[in-house]
Structure 1
């Protein structure tokens, strides 16, 4: 039943690596919610996947370690919509976005120093605030 997921022009996850299950949703639907299995749960075993390179896989496992279970699977569920096909496509879209974020490695941050002007602006603001607070105080001999 699952279909392959196309992440971008060079990456796709075959249907054999994905498993889909359905359950009754707790979301909107009125009386229909008690009869129809509209909630969709999508599973992808990231740790054993051959669809993505080793680099992407390790980045994915690092970045989303809190969402991956002991078996190395990521579970994505959707019960946003009242019908099963829309929830299924929502799960696919969520997984596609997760994989896409890990395809390119994150750039290292370059350390920069604040400019002299920005330092001066910050200090001027601090002086201004200090003066404002000093002016609020009662000076000796005033009441």
Structure 2
């Protein structure tokens, strides 16, 4: 069991880690050893996640989630499998913790009477300037 928050635990059987060859520099070692880790988690069908957390996770994950609801995290920062595996798990846990946080609801506010007065004064001054700039009608006589 993987403890994410006080209320969310994920069974480790829901997570698949696959070792793949890392791209980028590293010489022969990159070509020989599969040190990069691809972590997969079926967020869309996971019984461990409450619906609100699942929806926020899918939104937060962005491009890292497939159309089928599978979260994919690639870790290739380190040169060893174990460090990359731990890095992928840490990033996965952090992502779910962020999704578990309920966003603060925005409280409705009203403009203060002073700000309303300032706004109306500014509008009045602007109208006055425009009225003064208007050319006076002249009569042909």
TM-score w.r.t. length of structure 2 = 0.70
The structural deviation recorded for 1:28 is 4.6
Go from structure 1 to structure 2 and tell me whether the alpha carbon gap of 1:59 and 1:30 turns closer, same or farther (over 3 Å shift): same
1:74: how far off?
A: 0.7
Give 1:111 deviation, angstroms: 5.3
State the match for 1:47 in structure 2.
Answer: 44
Within 2, Cα distance between the matches of 1:82 and 1:54? 37
Structure 1 regions of 5+ residues with no counterpart? 121-143
Name the larger-Rg structure: 2
Q: How large is the RMSD of aligned CA atoms in angstroms?
A: 2.4
Other-structure match for 1:67: 64
Give deviations 1:9-56, integer Å, cap 9, x for gaps. Answer: 432211121111111112453321111100100000001001121221
Residue 93 of structure 2 corresponds to residue 96 of structure 1:
yes
Unmatched tracts of structure 2, length 5 or more: 119-141
Verify: 1:18 aligned to 2:15, yes or no. Answer: yes
Match of 1:30 in 2: 27
For normalisation by structure 1, the TM-score amounts to: 0.69
SS of equivalent to 1:64: helix
Distance 1:62 1:37, change over 3 A: same
Q: Distance in 2 between matches of 1:16 and 1:77?
A: 18
